[in-house]
Amino acid sequence: MTTCVVGVGNELRGDDGVGLVVARALEGTLPKDVRVLECEGEPVSLLAAWEDCDRTIVVDATQSGAQPGTIRRIAAHDGPLPPELSRSSTHLLGVAEAVELARALGRLPGRAIVYGIEGAGFETGAEISEPVATAAALVAASIRRELESGR
């Protein structure tokens, strides 16, 4: 099984960089057959990133109104993502829209997990907030356990 982990975000916009933080924390710590990628452009590029993968895990910041640092793990392969995650991105198209586009085109991997970490601040030049940095470490550890256990 080919697996990829994709961190989505913009490190220049505060908490929006959390997906990249998770990807960098995982780099070199996962089984050799797992690719770790960073997606700093529009999330629609995810379709190319996971093209040859049977399983993908995507991590991105969300803006749904939840408490900053809130973690959501969603099995996107089971059905549409929750409506509150649509348009919750700082990107033109968000991860939710990219996942649904991939589903419509038949290009969603057979197993697709989306981790959303609720952000607090997305201002240009801001640092990642403390609750989001804490959540990033928890998500990285969770992904490591998930992939090492073969789930």
Q: What is the pLDDT of residue 84?
A: 65
**DSSP type of residue 86:** T
Query: For 31-57, how does the pLDDT look when each residue is reduced to its tens digit (9 = 90+)?
Result: 888 999 998 877 678 888 888 899 999
Q: What is the pLDDT of residue 85?
A: 66
**DSSP type of residue 82:** P
Domain that holds residue 11: 3-149
Query: For 106-134, how does the pLDDT look when each residue is reduced to its tens digit (9 = 90+)?
Result: 999 999 999 999 999 888 888 999 999 99
What's the CATH code of the domain at 81? 3.40.50.1450
Helix runs in the chain, H state only: 18-26, 46-49, 95-105, 130-149
Alpha-carbon distance 64 to 20, whole Å? 20
Q: How many domains does one find in the chain?
A: 1
Mean pLDDT of 68-80: 94
